[in-house]
Chain A
Amino acid sequence: MILSDLSVAALSARLHDPGLVLNTGAFRVRLRSDVEGVARELAAAYANHRIESDPAIHHMRIEIRRGRWRGFGRDRGVVASVNGQAILGPFPTYLAYPMLESIFNWCIAKSVLRFIVFHAGAVERDGRALILTGPSGSGKSTLCAGLSQSGWRLISDELILLRPGDPALVGNPRPISLKNEAIDRIRDLGPAAKFTEVYEGTIRGTISFLCPTEESVARAGEPAVPSRVIFPSFRTGSATEVKEIEKAQGFMRLIENSVNYVTTLRTGFEAVAGVTDICRFYELTFGDLETAFAAIEKIAEPEPTGAGAAPKPTGAGAAPL
Chain B
Amino acid sequence: MRPRQALELAGLEIPAGVVSSKLWDRAITSNKSWRLCARGSELACRQWQGDLVVFNPISGATHLLDIVSGEVFRALMEGPAGARDLARRIAKLLEVDCNEETVAAAERILDNLDQLGLAEPAGPDAP
Closest to A321 in B: B45
9-residue interface stretch from A23-31, A220-228, A248-256, A285-293 = A248-256
Interface CB pairs A-B, < 8 A, 7:
A247-B49, A251-B53, A269-B44, A270-B44, A273-B46, A273-B53, A276-B46
CB pair A252 B77 closer than 8 Å? no
A276 to B46, CA, bound (A): 10
Specify which chain A residues have a CB less than 8 angstroms from the CB of B55 in the assembled complex.
265-266, 269
What is the interface size of chain A, counting residues whose CB is below 8 A from a CB of the partner?
21
With A266-B57, A269-B55, A321-B77 as known contacts, state yes or no: A247 contacts B62, CB within 8 Å: no
- Confirm or deny: B81 has a beta carbon within 8 angstroms of a beta carbon on chain A: no
CA distance A301 to B5 in the complex (A): 64
- Please give me the residue from chain B that is nearest to A251 by CB atom: B53
Instruction: Flag if A249 contacts B62 (CB, 8 Å).
Output: no
B47 touches A269 (CB 8 A): no
Please provide the chain B residues from 41 to 56 with a CB less than 8 Å away from any CB of chain A in the complex.
Answer: 44-49, 51-53, 55
CA distance A8 to B47 in the complex (A): 55
| Interface residues of A, Cβ cutoff 8 Å to B | 246-249, 251-252, 255, 261-262, 265-266, 269-270, 273, 276, 314, 317-321
Q: How far is the CA of A314 from the CA of B51 in the complex (A)?
A: 12
- B interface residues, how many (CB within 8 angstroms): 16
Which residue of the partner chain B has the closest CB to A248?
B51
Q: How far is the CA of A156 from the CA of B70 in the complex (A)?
A: 36
Query: What residues on B are CB-neighbors of A314 within 8 Å?
Result: 48-49
CB-CB < 8 A to A269: which residues of B?
44, 55, 62
Contact A321 B47 (CB under 8 A): yes
Contacts of A270 in B (CB 8 A): 44
Q: Is the CB of B46 within 8 A of A321?
A: yes
Who on chain B is nearest to A266 by CB? B44
Report Cα–Cα, A288/B49, bound state, in Å. Answer: 33
